[in-house]
Amino acid sequence: MSKPVTIALDAMGGDIGAGVVIPAAREYLRRDHETALILVGDDNILKKKLGPHPFGERLRIRHASQTVAMDELPSKALRNKKDSSMRVAIDLVKSGEANACVSAGNTGALMATSRFVLKTLPNIDRPAIITALPSVTGQTFMLDLGANVDCSAEHLVQFAVMGSETVAAVTDIANPKIGLLNIGQEEIKGNEQVKEAHELLLQSSLNYVGYVEGDDIYQGGTDVIVSDGFVGNIALKSSEGVAKMIRHFMTLEFKKNPLTKLAGLIAMPVLRAFRKRIDHRRYNGASLLGLRGIVIKSHGSADKLAFMNAISIARKEVSCDVPHRISEQVKTHLEKREIA
Amino acid sequence: MSKPVTIALDAMGGDIGAGVVIPAAREYLRRDHETALILVGDDNILKKKLGPHPFGERLRIRHASQTVAMDELPSKALRNKKDSSMRVAIDLVKSGEANACVSAGNTGALMATSRFVLKTLPNIDRPAIITALPSVTGQTFMLDLGANVDCSAEHLVQFAVMGSETVAAVTDIANPKIGLLNIGQEEIKGNEQVKEAHELLLQSSLNYVGYVEGDDIYQGGTDVIVSDGFVGNIALKSSEGVAKMIRHFMTLEFKKNPLTKLAGLIAMPVLRAFRKRIDHRRYNGASLLGLRGIVIKSHGSADKLAFMNAISIARKEVSCDVPHRISEQVKTHLEKREIA
């Protein structure tokens, strides 16, 4: 039997920490028999919360004495928390003991620590954050979601290469369609970096389909949408905000009076099927791309199902060796540009 | 009797043109007896479509021989369409014959033409586009929505002043809470312009509440959200995209089979009440702020109800004299800064 894939879990990260990570780990191992998980965090707490389990060596605990707070400054976490559950989980990836790690902790600290410990891949200047989002026709991947606020055209092109290769690796789309996020007005179309990136992408070997607008994210037709981290983060958060408001108003209307409550009861199976389609938990797990290792960020408020999904993403990226693929693709891309 | 407020309507603008503008004008005049409307466009077409009406001098036609296409380059429209329905409607504001104008035409051309004909207010470098969006607690105004792609900190502060004064004028909020759109990660928080604008706004006399994130747009708590036009446009379009996808999936689930159709029928009054809450038609009408005149942009695909709403916004801005208020507020704001 070959060595199982091992994934390190930051068991103290996120709003709930071990209370979510342990149940998610147990349930995940019940479904996937070829993976081992390492729970990283306070030995005492984790042993007590974990209790007896049937997974043997597939579920181990690794002690880490510190925890990074959700609002801790990344630079402080990096300097002062060398034995944090987050840091130790990333160290396990660096040493090769784990093939990937998952954390629901502070995004800034996770990015800064991953970058410091693992380093970026050759020819990648900056890591970027990518995630899948639901769309009318399936799903759309989007990056960067907040790692980089000021991006040059060249950075945007690197994001496109990373996004293309990741999506080709983890989905069955061989040559993903890449779009560049822009606004639709003629002449004043795009800022300088976007215009320049557009020209570079047109010359690249990527399957670049051109500019897309904010609403295209959810309409399908593009597999990967590229933007700088400021714009990407705002697009993502605005979308979450609208979805939350819609849920709020729908609940409000169905709870208005006994008659509407009855209507809600009758419509329940339909509403449930509908909610399942856009269930954000099914999309939980954002990848930090461009590093010499696989790091997955789970949402801070992820529940068991959502955290399991983040573990699945890590597992998939390990089996496809996403960092290696990105590294090869970037090399090819650069070589082509030098010849051209 | 005092002279009625007069609003010029670009009757040829938008995806449908006169087919929407004329019914909206008729219905609007039926409800508001103190306003007069001028339909601007092709005399022959408009006369035929309008037919007899009971509004006398309150509904007139002004001939314009040209039409600006929805995809026409703003610079070309400005140069070649000096007798377009859009241009003549704006000219009527300039000459004082109309107090405001409304167009569902090409946004870029409307902005370029308005700016050329009406000019910006003293101490305003760039006009900005503002609109109201629904929120859990009521509504949030947001600017800029796409007029300016690269903004300095000083531009963002001007937008804040314009937004504050407009909302104070058209709502009953005396001192609107202003937020600056940003991303939430510590240290890498914001790009340079946003950080600098934050410092300037903290020193200003505005009711500035600090940074807000994308999801805050729809959660309420802030009355005006300021961003550059690139980010604002992406936030708006992404939100529209999500809402559209949610509608799509909901319809799909309710139409799945006879049983779900029945459930949909029973839940119909609730779903209708819910839809009304987030009906984008009730929010149609974006103001071009910072000009020496009132120009309202209606959505290109607006229907009768939506277009009527855009006329109402024009009407309200006329009675509050928004341009004058902005001009006074900017002066006060600059004087305070000079003293400080």
What's the confidence (pLDDT) of residue B71?
86
B231-276: pLDDT as tens digits: 999 999 999 888 888 888 888 888 888 888 888 888 888 888 877 8
Nearest to A239 among B150, B239, B270 (CB): B239
What's the confidence (pLDDT) of residue B2?
62
What's the confidence (pLDDT) of residue B9?
98
A30: part of which helix (H) or strand (E)? helix A18-31
What's the confidence (pLDDT) of residue B269?
83
Q: Cβ separation of B214 and A239 shorter than 8 Å? A: yes
ipTM for the whole predicted complex goes beyond 0.95: no
| Length of chain A (residues) | 340
B269 contacts in A (CB within 8 Å)?
A: 260, 263
3-state secondary structure of B293: coil
What's the confidence (pLDDT) of residue B273?
82
Q: What is the 3-state secondary structure (H, E, C) of A63-96?
A: ECCECCCCCCCHHHHHHHCCCEHHHHHHHHHHHC
Going from the N-terminus, what domains does chain B have, and what CATH number goes with each? 1-124+290-321 (3.40.718.10), 129-283 (3.40.718.10)
The yes-or-no verdict on residue B312 having pLDDT over 90 is yes
A126: part of which helix (H) or strand (E)? none
Q: Which amino acid is at B200?
A: L
Q: Pairing relation of β-strands B59-63 and B208-212?
A: unpaired
B327-339: pLDDT as tens digits: 998 888 777 766 6
d(CA A145, CA B292): 39
What's the confidence (pLDDT) of residue B1?
47
Angle between helices B229-254 and B258-277 (to 10 degrees): 150
Query: What is the average per-residue pLDDT within B308-330?
Result: 94
Q: Cβ separation of A231 and B231 shorter than 8 Å? A: yes
Contact of B225 with B181, CB cutoff 8 Å = yes
Beta-strand runs (E) in A205-269? 208-212, 224-226
d(CA B194, CA B176): 20
d(CA B204, CA B337): 8
Peptide bond into A144 cis (omega under 30): yes
Q: Which two tokens stand for residue A219?
A: 């309409």
Does the CA dihedral B285-B145-A232-A248 come out positive or negative?
Answer: negative
Going by the DSSP 8-state scheme, the letter that residue B14 receives in this structure is: T
Query: What is the average per-residue pLDDT within B156-185?
Result: 93
d(CA B25, CA A217): 36
d(CA B322, CA B22): 26
B12-67: pLDDT as tens digits: 998 999 999 999 999 999 999 999 999 999 999 999 999 999 999 999 999 999 99
3-state secondary structure of A230: helix
Mean pLDDT, chain B, whole residue set: 91
Q: Cβ separation of B237 and A215 shorter than 8 Å? A: yes
Going by the DSSP 8-state scheme, the letter that residue A52 receives in this structure is: S
For B192, nearest residue in chain A (alpha carbons): A150
For chain B, percent of residues with pLDDT exceeding 90 = 71
Q: Which amino acid is at B309?
A: N
Mutate to test the interface with A, among B182, B237, B261, B271 (most CBs of A within 10 A): B237
Q: Cβ separation of B240 and A215 shorter than 8 Å? A: yes
Size of interface A-B (CB pairs under 8 A): 216
For chain B, percent of residues with pLDDT exceeding 70 = 96
- Among residues B236, B286, B156, which one has the least CA distance to residue A241? B236
Give the distance from residue A227's alpha carbon to the nearest chain B alpha carbon, in angstroms. Answer: 10
Output the tens digit of pLDDT for each of chain A's 340 residues: 467 899 999 999 989 999 999 999 999 999 999 999 999 999 999 999 999 999 999 999 999 999 999 888 899 999 999 999 999 999 999 999 999 999 999 999 999 999 999 999 998 999 999 999 999 888 999 999 988 888 899 999 999 999 999 999 999 999 999 999 999 754 556 788 999 999 999 999 999 999 999 999 999 899 999 999 999 999 999 998 888 888 888 888 888 888 888 888 888 888 888 778 777 788 899 999 999 999 999 999 999 999 999 999 999 999 999 999 999 988 887 777 666 5
B201-236: pLDDT as tens digits: 999 999 999 999 999 999 999 999 999 999 999 999
Q: Cβ separation of B185 and A73 shorter than 8 Å? A: no
Contact of B217 with B246, CB cutoff 8 Å = no
